[in-house]
Chain A
Amino acid sequence: MGFLGDVAAFFADRANWRGGNGLTQLIVEHLGVSVAALALALALALPPGLVLGHLRRGGVVAVNVANVGRALPSFAVLVIALQLSSIGLVPTMVALVALAVPPMVTNSYVGVAEVDADMVEAARAMGMTGRQVFTSVELPSALPLVMAGVRTAAVQVVATATLAALVGFGGLGALILVGLRTGDHVEVFAGALTVTVLAMATEVGLGALQRWVTPAGARSR
C-alpha cells in the first residue's frame, strides 16, 4: 500500500493542483491542445472524405491514407516538426493533426460510399437531387461510422498529447517526463494515471455520443 498510498497523497495535496505546473493547469493544456487539434483535423478530413464518398471516387487513396498514417510514428513526426518550427504549440499540433486526419478521412469515405446502393437508388427514383441524397440519406446513414473515426482519432490524440511535453509544450506528459528525469516515481505514476483517465473518459464519452447519433433503425444491439 506504500507506493499507491503516496500516489493518493499526491492527489490529495492541494498544492499539487495549483500554479503554473499544477495538475489543473496541465489538464487544461492537455485538453486544450487535443480539442484544437481535433477541430482542425475535422475541418481538414471530413469535407474530402465525405465528398469523395458521395462521388464514390478516390477510394484507394481514402482507404490507404489510414494505413500510411499508422506507419508514421507520432514521436518521429513530433520531433521532425520541431526542426521546422519553434518549440511548443506548432510541432504538437502538426503531430496530433497528422494522427487524427487519416482515420477520419477513411471512416467518412467508407461511411458514405458503403451506404446501401438500393437506398441511394430509391432516393434518386423519388426525384431527390444529388445534394438531397447526400444530406438526407447518405449522411445520416454514414454518421455512426464517421463518429467511430472521430472517436478513434480523439482517443489517440488525447493519448498522444502526452508526448507534447517532449517538445516543451506542457500538458500531462510534463509530469511524467519531469518525474522520469528526477526519479520521482510517484509523480510519474500520478501523471500517467491522470492521462489514462482522460483517454478512457474520451473513449466512453464519444462512445455514448456515437450510439446517440446512430439512427434507431440501424442499432444492432
Chain B
Amino acid sequence: MAEPWVDWDWVGAHGEEIIDLLGDHVTLTAAAVSAGLILSFPLALAVRRWRRWQGPVLSATGALYAIPSLALFALLLPWTGLTRTTALIALISYTLLILVRNIVAGLDGVAPEVTEAATAMGMHPLLRLVRVELPLALPAVVAGVRVATVTIVGLVTVAALIGHGGLGQLILDGLNRDFRTPLVVGSVLSVALAAAADVALVGVQRLLTPWARRGR
C-alpha cells in the first residue's frame, strides 16, 4: 500500500508516448462516431419512410449494443484479426442504436405545421429535409452524438486487449506490470477526454442552433 498512485518521474519520461496514445484514442473515437453517423442517417431516413422497419431496425441495433465489447472483438478475430479494423467495426456497431434512435426521434419531433408550410412553399422534400427538418432535429441528434461519444471513449479502453485501445493500453500496461502510475494516468485521461468531448459537443450544438439561444 506504500506505492504512490502517481510516479511523476515516469509520467515525465513517457510524456510523448502518453500523448501519442491520447491522440490514438481521439482518432479511434472520432472515426467510430463519424462512421456511425454516416451509417445511421440513411437507416433513420429509411425507418421513417418505411415505418414497419422501425421495430426490426431498432431491435437489430439493440442486439448489437447488447454484445459485450470484449466478446465482439473476439467474435471478429477470425475474420479481421488483431487489427484496427476489428476495433473500429465493434465501436461503430455500438453507436448505431443510440444514433438511429435519436435521429428518428428528432425528425419525428418536428412540428407537422412546419413541414407542411415548407411543402406549401414548394420545397423539394430533399431541400425540406436539409433546410428545415434536420436543423430542427439537431438538438436530439447532438444529444445522441454526445451519448455515443462518451460511451465510445470508455469502450476504446477495452480495445487495449486486442492492441488498439489508445489510453486503455496504459491501463492494461499498469495491470500487467502491477504498476499504478500508467493505469491511473490512462483512467484519468480517459474520463477527462469523455468530459471534454461532451462539453465540446454542447458548444458545437450552440454554434449550430443560434436561434435556440434567443428568447431564453
* Chain A residues with a Cβ under 8 A of chain B: 3, 67, 70-77, 79-80, 82-83, 155, 158-160, 162-163, 166-167, 173, 176-177, 179-180, 185, 188-189, 191-193, 195-196, 199-200, 202-203
In the complex, the answer to whether A71 meets B63 with C-beta atoms within 8 Å is no
Asked whether any CB of chain A lies closer than 8 Å to the CB of B61, the reply is: no
Pick out which of these stretches binds chain A: B14-22, B128-136, B185-193. Answer: B185-193
- Complex CA–CA separation, A179 to B75 (angstroms): 12
A70 and chain B: residue at smallest CB distance? B150
Give chain B residues whose Cβ lies under 8 Å from the Cβ of A83: 180, 183
Give chain B residues whose Cβ lies under 8 Å from the Cβ of A70: 147, 150-151, 154, 194
In the complex, the answer to whether B75 meets A196 with C-beta atoms within 8 Å is yes
Return the contact of A159 from the options B66, B147, B151, B174 (Cβ within 8 A): B66
In the complex, the answer to whether B154 meets A73 with C-beta atoms within 8 Å is yes
Give chain B residues whose Cβ lies under 8 Å from the Cβ of A199: 66-68, 71
In the complex, the answer to whether B171 meets A76 with C-beta atoms within 8 Å is yes
Give chain A residues whose Cβ lies under 8 Å from the Cβ of B160: 75
- Complex CA–CA separation, A199 to B150 (angstroms): 22
In the complex, the answer to whether B153 meets A71 with C-beta atoms within 8 Å is yes
In the complex, the answer to whether A176 meets B175 with C-beta atoms within 8 Å is no
Asked whether any CB of chain A lies closer than 8 Å to the CB of B184, the reply is: yes
B67 and chain A: residue at smallest CB distance? A196
Return the contact of A192 from the options B74, B157, B183 (Cβ within 8 A): B74
Give chain B residues whose Cβ lies under 8 Å from the Cβ of A162: 68, 70-71
* Chain B residues with a Cβ under 8 A of chain A: 62-63, 66-72, 74-75, 77-78, 147, 150-151, 153-155, 157-158, 160-162, 168, 171, 174-175, 180, 183-184, 186-187, 190-191, 194-195, 198
In the complex, the answer to whether A200 meets B63 with C-beta atoms within 8 Å is yes
B175 and chain A: residue at smallest CB distance? A79
B165 and chain A: residue at smallest CB distance? A75
B79 and chain A: residue at smallest CB distance? A3
In the complex, the answer to whether A71 meets B75 with C-beta atoms within 8 Å is no
Given contacts A71-B154, A166-B175, A189-B78, contact A76 B190 (CB under 8 A): yes
In the complex, the answer to whether B71 meets A160 with C-beta atoms within 8 Å is no
A66 and chain B: residue at smallest CB distance? B147
| Residue of B69, B71, B187, B190 contacting most chain A CB atoms (<10 Å) | B71
Show 9 A/B contacts (Cβ-Cβ < 8 Å), sorted by A.
Answer: A3-B78, A70-B154, A75-B168, A79-B175, A82-B175, A160-B68, A188-B77, A189-B77, A196-B66
Give chain A residues whose Cβ lies under 8 Å from the Cβ of B63: 200, 203
B155 and chain A: residue at smallest CB distance? A73
Give chain A residues whose Cβ lies under 8 Å from the Cβ of B147: 70
In the complex, the answer to whether A71 meets B194 with C-beta atoms within 8 Å is yes
Return the contact of A196 from the options B68, B78, B187 (Cβ within 8 A): B68
Give chain A residues whose Cβ lies under 8 Å from the Cβ of B171: 75-76, 79
Output the least CB separation between A9 and chain B (Å): 15
Give chain A residues whose Cβ lies under 8 Å from the Cβ of B150: 67, 70-71
Give chain A residues whose Cβ lies under 8 Å from the Cβ of B194: 70-71
In the complex, the answer to whether B67 meets A159 with C-beta atoms within 8 Å is yes
Given contacts A71-B194, A76-B157, A163-B158, contact A155 B66 (CB under 8 A): yes
In the complex, the answer to whether B71 meets A192 with C-beta atoms within 8 Å is yes
Output the least CB separation between A27 and chain B (Å): 14
Return the contact of B71 from the options A76, A185, A195, A202 (Cβ within 8 A): A195
Return the contact of B75 from the options A77, A158, A160, A192 (Cβ within 8 A): A192
- Complex CA–CA separation, A83 to B157 (angstroms): 18
In the complex, the answer to whether A195 meets B68 with C-beta atoms within 8 Å is yes
Output the least CB separation between A66 and chain B (Å): 9
Give chain B residues whose Cβ lies under 8 Å from the Cβ of A73: 153-155, 157-158, 168, 187, 190-191
Which 10 residue pairs of A and B lie closest in terms of their CB atoms, listed nearest first?
A76-B187, A159-B68, A192-B74, A73-B154, A192-B71, A71-B194, A73-B157, A75-B157, A188-B74, A162-B68
- Complex CA–CA separation, A201 to B202 (angstroms): 36
- Complex CA–CA separation, A217 to B188 (angstroms): 47
Return the contact of A79 from the options B151, B153, B187 (Cβ within 8 A): B187
